């Protein structure tokens, strides 16, 4: 043990309760130990050991070998470990599965890069092979297009463009859903569907029912389901599937979801529409700004019914036991299966 050359002094009274006593011996140079000296250690390690009785400057105090219960005269300072891997290994659980380090910054950079490349059109391969099609497919498409032309002429042969139906009220809000027809051979029918805002399958759109819209719906009747929506159906469509079209020259994704009233105010604030409820009111009442609102709203991208299509054929009209055509107020029950 290292000798103590400082003058003997007694510890403060407050620190005596926290002392740790050890057995030490007081010896003269060249002599065997004569008696035991009482030495204590104060609670704060930086103050060092203190003797409980006076010790001369030329005397040496040594520790008896094997009689010290714990080393109290030498303290190693607590050094904070700067290596996180060593700290993890120190406190590792023996039966725990091996963990993997994850870099949040690397994941964020990869996600930003993936989102940026999502809207970049990939070039077509130079050696792309053309798919071989049998002549029977072209003949079948031609026959389907011919049947559509005959059907359209048959519908308007007697009444003309003025379709009369007691159940249909012009000027009301209608909800149109394209439920079939991934590829339509008749170009005229495809042009009308695109003009109505239904260029793809499983799309829905709000329209104001006029004589022209009624005539177009009659021409594409086997491919659409339409009727009068309630306020609950309109609210669910806007809140769940509402999207904005991008402005001209605007970069980024093609569709922007409706997530806040601030977006509605930025788009329709000049029309007096400052929140989503004002937007719903404009759609339900078919207000004066209905056409401007529907031009900015994107078509609703939906899915097939939850329980699937029933035994009725999708191409047959509802009046003869099918799924297509006008449904009136029953379209709300149908949209409960879609939403």
Give 186's Cβ-side CA count (13 Å radius).
19
Q: Which of 70-74, 100-104, 121-125 has the lowest mean pLDDT?
A: 70-74
pLDDT at 20: 39
Answer whether residue 150 shows pLDDT above 50.
yes
More confident of the two residues 221 and 71: 221
Q: Which of 15-29, 59-73, 285-299 has the lowest mean pLDDT?
A: 15-29
Q: Are 223 and 178 in contact (CB under 8 A)?
A: yes
Q: Which two tokens stand for residue 243?
A: 């999207």
Mean pLDDT of the chain, nearest integer: 76
Answer whether residue 173 shows pLDDT above 70.
yes
Answer whether residue 222 shows pLDDT above 80.
yes
Q: Are 228 and 329 in contact (CB under 8 A)?
A: yes
The residues near 213 (Cβ < 8 Å, ≥ 6 apart) are: 174, 196, 207
What is the Cα–Cα distance from 318 to 327, expressed in whole angstroms? Answer: 7
pLDDT at 94: 63
CA dihedral 55, 61, 63, 67 (to 10 degrees): -30
Q: Which two tokens stand for residue 313?
A: 């054929």
Q: At 246, is the pLDDT very low, low, confident or very high (cuts 50, 70, 90)?
A: confident
């Amino acid at each position: 043990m290292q000798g103590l050359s400082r003058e003997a002094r007694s510890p403060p009274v407050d620190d005596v309760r926290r002392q740790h006593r050890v057995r030490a011996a007081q010896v003269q140079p060249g002599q065997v130990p004569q008696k035991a000296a009482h030495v204590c250690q104060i609670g704060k390690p930086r103050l060092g050991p203190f003797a409980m009785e006076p010790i001369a400057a030329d005397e040496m105090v040594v520790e008896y070998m094997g009689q010290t219960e714990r080393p109290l005269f030498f303290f190693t300072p607590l050094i904070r470990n700067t290596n996180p891997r060593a700290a993890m290994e120190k406190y590792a659980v023996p039966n725990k599965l091996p963990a993997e380090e994850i870099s949040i910054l690397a994941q964020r950079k990869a996600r930003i890069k993936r989102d940026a490349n999502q809207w970049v059109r990939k070039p077509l391969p130079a050696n792309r092979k053309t798919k071989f099609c049998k002549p029977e497919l072209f003949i079948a498409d031609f026959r389907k297009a011919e049947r559509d032309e005959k059907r359209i002429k048959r519908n308007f042969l007697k009444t003309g463009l003025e379709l009369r139906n007691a159940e249909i009220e012009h000027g009301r809000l209608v909800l149109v859903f394209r439920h079939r027809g991934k590829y339509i051979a008749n170009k005229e029918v495809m042009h009308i569907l695109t003009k109505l805002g239904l260029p793809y399958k499983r799309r829905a759109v709000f329209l104001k029912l006029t004589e022209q819209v009624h005539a177009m719906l009659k021409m594409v009747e086997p491919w659409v389901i339409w009727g009068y929506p309630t306020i609950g159906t309109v609210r669910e469509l806007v809140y769940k599937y509402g999207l904005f079209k991008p402005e001209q020259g605007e970069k980024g994704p093609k569709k922007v979801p409706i997530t806040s009233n601030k977006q509605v105010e930025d788009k329709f604030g000049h029309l007096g529409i400052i929140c989503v409820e004002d937007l719903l009111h404009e759609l339900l009442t078919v207000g004066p700004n209905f056409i401007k609102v529907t031009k900015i709203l994107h078509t609703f991208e939906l899915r097939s019914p939850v329980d699937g299509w029933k035994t009725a054929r999708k191409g047959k009209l509802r009046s003869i036991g099918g799924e297509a055509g006008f449904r009136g107020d029953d379209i709300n029950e149908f949209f409960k299966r879609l939403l």
